[in-house]
Structure 1
Amino acid sequence: MIRETADAPAKRIVRPCIHCGEPTDSDTEQPAEEIFCCNGCRGAYELIHGWGLEGFYGLRDQLASGPASRVNAQASRYEVFDNAEFLGPSVPTEQADGLMRCELAVHGLHCAACAWLIENAAIRTPGWNVARVKMSDHTLQVIFDPTQTALSKIAGLLDRLGYELAPISKQRDQHFQNESRRHLIQIAIAGFFAANAMWIAVALYAGEAYGVAAEHRFFLRMIGTALGVAAVLLPGRTFFVGAIASMRNRVPHMDLPVALGLSVGTIVGTINAITGKGHLYFDSLAILVFLLLIGRWIQFHQQHRAAKAVDLLLRITPRHANRVDERNETSTVLVDALQIGDVIRVGGNESLPADGEVVQGESMIDRSLLTGESVPEGVQPGDRVLAGTINLQRVIDVRVEAIGDDSRIGKVMRSVEDATNQKTPIVQFADSVGGVFVVVVSLLAIASFLWWMPSGWSVAASHATSLLIVACPCALALATPLAIAVSLGRAAKHKVLIRDGNTLQQLARGGRIWFDKTGTLTSGRPDAELISGHWDAVQLAAVVEQECQHPVAEAIKRLASRSPKEIQIDSYELTAVHRNGVVGQVNQQAVLVGNLALMDQHHIMISDSTMEAIDRCTDESASPILIAVNGLIEAIVAISDPLRPHVASTIASLRHRGWKIGILSGDHPAIVQHVASRVGIDIDEAHGAMSPEEKLFTVQRDSESDEDSTTVMIGDGANDAAALAAADVGIAVRGGAEVSLQAAPVFIASGDIQDIDHLMQSARRTNWLIRTAFAVSLTYNLVAVGLAMMGRISPLIAAVLMPISSVSVLALTLAWPTYPSSLGNAGLWDKTTEGKTP
């Protein structure tokens, strides 16, 4: 294990920024309200308090949504927001009152507190009349007076608050909107019929108790029956459509007995209403249609959420680019307007909008979003770069070779959609049992009708109706969605978000789990440790690196903040940035910070002790960074990616439950195998240097090879998106690209990897709950059907008994402990390996 050579001083500690919560170096005596990670957060904090909106912080904390977005201290110029070509579909339109209206995408929203802050900021900004935040799709509607302010000023103001605006995509799911509106209209109509039918029923019941004139009774019976018939024929026709389709396709469906029961109830109830004899069912029919339609609308929304296609490419690549013309001047254009051969300019800490070849400049590229490689890669003229990766250091010019769907990230996104569309949905246990139940109940109802026909048509119809009512598949239909809904809700309380119930059914079977490494098993944030040399050299290196945005530079700066003493800095200069490191001067001393190749380039002598320290780093799968001062190696720093807490314990527990565990990573194979050995994964199951396509192939192969087990992929980057979608179950952990969350049905929002084990336990408990609920419901229905066929239950008693099975399933579900209450599995792991640096 690599350790520091000196203890950290007590006078400097790391505390959260008061605005965004970013870990920030500070003095122990510094008040908490003065801790800011950057000048941008300081400006946002002062602006919010200047408006008198400090209640934002209290509301945010009350909602437990996490910190605000970190503010960009050097916000880009927003003049492009006054350019119609840049805005595209978001270009403002003029209203009748002369005000301008537009809709923009807003990034950085967390909760209702963010919406509250933005909408109150509009009230306090002259010329900005209205701001309406839509949390469902993270959009902002802006209404402003162009004579008083410009859209660019509004965008700049929100940037100061930590929210970034961007043009919106107009690819709307119109079909979903129309279908949802149709469902809601049907529910509203059914609710109208049900409410009025219930009032009619109350009047009739009261009349039976206190007396009512015969003509009034007949009138109420006919009005109530008309309401019930209308409820069945208008909003309830959807069940008849499903039943007819079921019979045509010869596939039993829950709509079949529902439609049959509604038909018999309607016919018998109408005849009884006209003749004045027998029971009426109009109130029960109307209520049943109303409740079933509500359930269908909820199911429709769940299916839409599971299948909704999001514009993934827009989420992780820039919407615009800086195009360079023949005069070497830049203009901001939409990425869609780029042509092959155009030259674009990409600044430091910016994402590349297209694939291409570097034609000017040298920098470091973070490729982890695509490849999973944790160590940035140096680029120079002639090297190829990809859309979605991040330029970490200096400005580079890139000649465009591919954009949109033709880019590497576009092909990955297309494979995500293909994998999602090709994935065969699980036939749930409820479907198989429910299909048999539908056929059996329908046949028994016909048999009961024929059996009682000798006693008269009215008696036969009454008993058949009783059977269909008391054996209504509501409890069977309720068992699975109710158990899953309760399990999803309890998991959500532990910040484990599950998109659909099929996931729990899949995870209950067991099988194989593939982990990504960077950002999943490890933190994804490089850490630095001093293994040899002097703290003074580390501080000199931090001074040289202070203008660099490279992750290694950030790690060295954090390491320098723990130095036992501070040195006096009189002057410094960053003279060169290479792909292997940086060169600068501090207090008239030449300082080099980089790898062994950089030292060789500058003819720095490497001693045997230095090589031993380098070997110690590589043995621990860490990257050695050398610091040379005035031509001599003064310090060696190890850069590594530390393990997440509780990784070893979680993997041990998963293996104990029968899961096979492996790693699919784009990182170096030696690093991947070292991590595997530290967390208890077999070396043969740890695969490194894998491209997104190779991950996808491996997951698809495992998923197709064994249909009786479940293949799980756990990752957090866009390089994992295709594999997450192709797996039987994809699990995204916090800290990855948003594209992964759209491809995966499970999101571990807590960031605690132990919740993966808790999720597996919850899946098995939910599966047992569903089976138990089915057993209870079927037992009840068997007894009730038997009594109905024997003529022991009248339609009125059947209507009373019908909800009992649903109530029993509800009570059982609420009492069942579907999510583990404990937070660990003590004794299953070696605590000496927890959270240490690989």
Structure 2
Amino acid sequence: MANDVIQLQLSGMSCAGCAKSIERALQSCDGVQSVNVNFASEVAAVEGNNLKTAQLLAAVKDAGYHAELLDHESDQSDPRDAAQQKQLVKFIAAAILSLPLLYTMFGHFSWTSGIPVPDLLMNPWLQLLLATPVQFIMGWQFYRGSYHALRNGAANMDVLVALGTSAAYFYSIYLAWFAPDYHPHEGLYFETSAVLITLILLGKWFEARAKGRSSSAIQKLLQLQPEKALRELENGDTEEVAVSELKVGDIIQVRPGQAVPTDGKVLSGESAIDESMLTGESMPVAKHQGDNVMGGTFNTTGFVRVEVQQVGAQTALAKIIRVVEQAQNSKAPIQRLADRVASIFVPAVLVIAALTMLIWIVFLAPGDWRAAFEATVAVLVIACPCALGLATPTSIMAGSGRAAQAGILFKRSEILERTQAIDTIVFDKTGTLTEGKPKLTNFSLLSQALSQATVASLVQALEKQSEHPLAQAIVKGLDAHLNADDSPDERPEVRQFQAHKGKGVSASLSYHNESFKVMVGSLRLLREHEVVVNENAEQKLSELQEQGKTAMAIAIANELVAYVAVADTVRDTSKHALKTLRTRGLRLLMLTGDNNKTAAAIAKELGLDDVIAEVLPEDKADHVKQLQAKGTTVAMVGDGINDAPALAVADIGIAMGTGTDVAIEAADIALMRADLNGIAQALEMSRLTVRNIRQNLFWAFAYNVVGIPIAASGLLAPWLAGGAMALSSVSVVLNALRLQRVKLSDR
């Protein structure tokens, strides 16, 4: 039985420690099997059986945070927008009250003694009046967060901020009340607590804006879905309806300049559809009768009538959104180190702060409580686990979102991390390296007894009687060789059609008042009917077979007059894609059920390192396992049902988006267009994302490793420490956002 997955939009988190607290709270609910809270996107993904939404929401609330059910299909506004706006209002109010206090700092230093500071601003009671609203109204969120964290047996960034600013605030009250003769400008810290809170609120607002940009991929995908559609009525008129009201089988009209409302098939009309937003294909794709179109794509030029085939959650756009969400809300293995550090970070900082106070009082400056106090507060406020918590998820969100814009869907964040490590790629042939549809490649006369147009007309009429894929390829391919002067009434008439199993077809045909006995098939079929086959013809057909083509001879009136060849042609993009992959030092193999001769011809044409042919579908996975047993990291690329086991077994399974749903479900990466260049793009996106994560983790660790000792040494004023703390989180997110500007070449 499939598990339920419920996504919750969270608010109120201040650091990675909050995410861990929410995870613990949700894991205690009935039926929950796994929980992943993404601090960057503020989304909790809960998986389990018989999950109760109300219980999950209550658990988050009891932990001290707020949650709403995440539903993209509803018109509800994003709660993060309101939270971001509220944070901005708090910052502005705090800044207005803190600016006078910030000005008083000029009176604290000898080198600024020339700047006049009004005595009124130095009055301790005015400073108390200005600082109190900042401390307990704008800064109340830190006290609330501290209370809930400590109640749940944890400690987060709110604890550090509340402790540091409270120490400065209440120590200043003590000095103002019990030391009336003391010079306030030499000892009060009201400006320290107020400016600290103001700077942290500014950092939180910047962080929220940056995090919103890093998660913009899903919002952009959601915006592709049009709200209205033109549905045809039985009398031919149209009505405008909401896209949510469309049903399978409805006929809709899509005019030039409109977005395609949902997935469907073109019934009539022609146009060029811009699919770049879903597949990454830079050029509009021509669509004709019978072609499929996807909801969210853009109709550029023509008018088309479309039969609705998928609606709601079954559309390609909805599936893409689910895959991107799944990747962004999962946790990459590289994040485990940051999680372990974040879990002990705040207690460790509290210990360091206590040691800082003790060392200053006892060893560095005995009796100088002011110096000890400033160093201790600086340690408390400069230390922040936020940067550690944001380092990995923001990069994953930005990287997977950029990949989705290029038509590359990573199913999970760990896949995005692991892909760059592969060293061997195994390709299925049919539908992956090749088009997957046979095409006529050769048509030549061996005799001048009949014109090429006459032979083409006779062969096409004969092959139309067969439903074999090769016959259909011949019929379609011969269109260019027909006699253009023939009217429909002059087409050949077929009688006594006969299919010779495994050999070919034959029939009697009437054409322009003449009768012809026509055979198309193997040389064996012709010899059985006493048709003379000369060495030249036999050699030509043999050469075609060696090229991996299916060659057939054509006999008319018991004379060999021509031959045709059909092949599953290599995709136009395959050669360039494989060349690009070879430059990366990757080993490239082909795994196919085709015969050795055909497989070898394709492998030679593409320059593959090795080929394994005549493999049964059920044995493909075993061959992948054999490669893995040799110590290689294997990616399998396929598109068919028979590729699904191998895709699941491989270290990285890559499915062509034009393939079957089974293959796409079994794979780790889905390419939304039939272009193997997407593999090189996936490798590049994985490499850049992992590099970005490592950069973020380095700077997050380095910031604390360097910043805390500087603060403890007394070289950093508390208000500067607060500014540095706010800047650290913002810098990590901005670095991750660089991934959204990565240029991925599609050729």
TM-score where L is the length of structure 1: 0.51
Which blocks of at least 5 consecutive residues in structure 1 are unaligned?
1-170, 245-255, 304-416, 825-838
Sort the Cα spacing of 1:219 and 1:704 in 2 relative to 1 into closer, same or farther, 3 A.
Answer: farther
Q: 1:191 to 1:647 in 2, by over 3 A?
A: closer
1:162 matched residue in structure 2: none
Aligned counterpart, 2:233:
none
Q: Is the 8 Å Cα contact of residues 388 and 700 (structure 2) preserved in structure 1? A: yes
Give the corresponding residue for 2:355: 450
Match of 2:570 among 624, 628, 643: 643
Which gives a bigger RCO, structure 1 or 2 (Cα 8 Å, sep 6+)? 2
In structure 2, what is the Cα distance between the partners aligned to 1:641 and 1:660? 24
Letter in 1 for 2:593: G
CA deviation after TM superposition for structure 1 residue 738, in Å: 3.7
CA gap 1:266/1:593 in 2 versus in 1, 3 angstroms = farther
In the other structure, the counterpart of 1:690 is: 616
User: In structure 2, what is the Cα distance between the partners aligned to 1:219 and 1:628?
Assistant: 102
The SS at the match of 2:716 is coil
| 8 Å contact from structure 1 (residues 765, 818) kept in 2 | no
Q: Report the counterpart of residue 719 of structure 2 in structure 1.
A: 796
Aligned mate of 1:194, from 52, 68, 87 = 87
Q: Does 1:663 align with 2:590?
A: yes
Equivalents in 1 of 2:734, 2:384: separation in Å?
19
The match for 2:319 is none
CA deviations over 1:446-491 (Å, ceiling 9, x no partner): 1232330447999877645533542323334444444455544555
Residue 112 (structure 2) aligns with = none
Helix, strand or coil for the counterpart of 1:523? strand
Query: Percent identical across equivalent pairs?
Result: 23
- Separation in 2 of the partners of 1:484 and 1:450? 37
Distance between the aligned counterparts of 2:151 and 2:456, measured in 1?
74
Paired residues for 1:282-681 under 5 Å = 427-428=333-334, 430-432=335-337, 435-436=340-341, 439=344, 442-453=347-358, 454=361, 463-464=375-376, 466-488=378-400, 491=403, 494-528=406-440, 529-531=442-444, 533=446, 535=452, 536-546=454-464, 550-563=468-481, 565-566=483-484, 568=486, 569-573=490-494, 576=497, 578=499, 580=502, 581-584=504-507, 585-587=509-511, 588-595=515-522, 603=529, 605=531, 607-609=533-535, 610-681=537-608
Contact 1:466 1:793 in 2 (8 A): yes
Distance 1:533 1:705 in 2: 51
Residue in structure 2 matched with residue 754 of structure 1 by the alignment = 677
Q: Which has the larger radius of gyration?
A: 2
1:517 deviates by 0.9
Conserved 8 A contact 1:194-1:283: no
Unaligned 5+ segments in structure 2 are: 1-48, 58-66, 71-76, 104-117, 177-188, 219-322, 362-366
Q: CA deviation at 1:742?
A: 3.8
Shift in alpha-carbon separation, 1:219–1:206, aligned structure 2, 3 A:
closer
1:181 equivalenced with 2:181 (yes/no): no
**Does the 8 A contact of 1:449 with 1:460 survive in 2?**
no
SS of residue paired to 2:569: coil
Offset at residue 775 of structure 1 (A):
3.7
- SS, match of residue 736 in structure 1: coil
Distance 2:216 2:147 in 1: 20
**Structure 2 CA distance for aligned equivalents of residues 485 and 190 of structure 1:** 20
Three-state SS of the structure 2 residue aligned to 1:799 is: helix
Q: Match for residue 640 of structure 2?
A: 717
Evaluate the alpha carbon distance shift between residue 646 and residue 795 of structure 1 in structure 2; reply closer, same or farther with a 3 A threshold: same
Deviations 1:64-109 (A, max 9, x none): xxxxxxxxxxxxxxxxxxxxxxxxxxxxxxxxxxxxxxxxxxxxxx
- 1:284–1:738 Cα change, 3 Å: farther
Q: Contact 2:160–2:380 (CA<8 Å) still a contact in 1?
A: yes
Does the C-alpha gap of structure 1 residues 437 and 215 become closer, same or farther in structure 2, counting only changes over 3 Å? closer
Render the CA deviation track for 1:312-360: whole Å, top value 9, x for unaligned. Answer: xxxxxxxxxxxxxxxxxxxxxxxxxxxxxxxxxxxxxxxxxxxxxxxxx
What CA distance in whole angstroms lies between the structure 1 residues aligned with 2:628 and 2:217?
A: 24
Question: Helix, strand or coil: the match of 1:472?
Answer: coil
Alignment of 1:249-288 (within 5 A): 258=157, 260-261=159-160, 264=163, 268=167, 278=190, 279-280=193-194
2:111 paired with 1:205:
no
The amino acid of 1:558's aligned partner reads: K
Deviation at 1:782? Answer: 2.9
Alignment partners' CA distance in 2, 1:563 and 1:530: 9
1:206–1:511 Cα change, 3 Å? same
Change (3 A) 1:651 1:189: closer
Q: Which one of 764, 773, 786 corresponds to residue 687 of structure 2?
A: 764
Letter in 2 for 1:688: E
Q: 1:756 deviation in Å?
A: 2.6
Q: Which residue of 2 aligns with 1:21?
A: none
Question: Does the C-alpha gap of structure 1 residues 677 and 192 become closer, same or farther in structure 2, counting only changes over 3 Å?
Answer: closer
Is residue 229 of structure 1 aligned with residue 137 of structure 2? no
Give RMSD over aligned pairs.
5.1
Contact 1:761 1:820 in 2 (8 A): no
Change (3 A) 1:818 1:650: farther
**Distance in 2 separating the partners of 1:469 and 1:635:** 86
Shift of 1:797: 1.5
Once residues 230 and 775 of structure 1 are traced to their aligned partners in structure 2, the CA distance between those partners, rounded to angstroms, is 29
Which residue type is aligned with residue 387 of structure 2? A
CA distance in 2, matches of 1:557, 1:798: 77
Please say if residues 441 and 468 of structure 1, whose CA atoms lie closer than 8 Å, have aligned partners that are also in contact: no
CA contact (8 A) 1:261 1:465 kept: no
Is the aligned partner of 1:786 residue 2:730? no
Work out the CA distance in 2 between the residues paired with 1:591 and 1:232: 92
1:510-561 CA distances to partner (integer Å, 9 max, x unpaired)? 4221111112111212121125546332332222334666432332133312
1:799, CA displacement in angstroms? 2.1
State the shift of 1:623 in Å. Answer: 1.4
Letter in 1 for 2:704: N
Q: Distance in 2 between the 1:687 and 1:592 partners?
A: 31
Q: Does the 8 Å CA contact 1:476/1:774 hold for their aligned counterparts?
A: yes
- Give 1:427's aligned amino acid: P
Which digits, 9 at most, give the CA deviation of each residue in 1:12-66, with x for residues without a partner? xxxxxxxxxxxxxxxxxxxxxxxxxxxxxxxxxxxxxxxxxxxxxxxxxxxxxxx
Provide the C-alpha distance between the structure 2 equivalents of 1:562 and 1:673, rounded to a whole number of angstroms: 30
- Name whichever of 472-481 and 783-792 sits farther off: 472-481
Cα offset for 1:438?
A: 6.2
Q: Structure 2: which amino acid aligns with 1:746?
A: I
* Contact kept in structure 1, 2:84 and 2:208, CA below 8 Å: no
- SS in structure 2 of the partner of residue 197 of structure 1: helix
TM-score by length of 2: 0.57
Post-superposition shift, 1:632?
Answer: 4.2
User: What does residue 91 of structure 1 align with?
Assistant: none
Give the secondary-structure state (helix, strand or coil) at the position aligned to 1:526.
Answer: strand
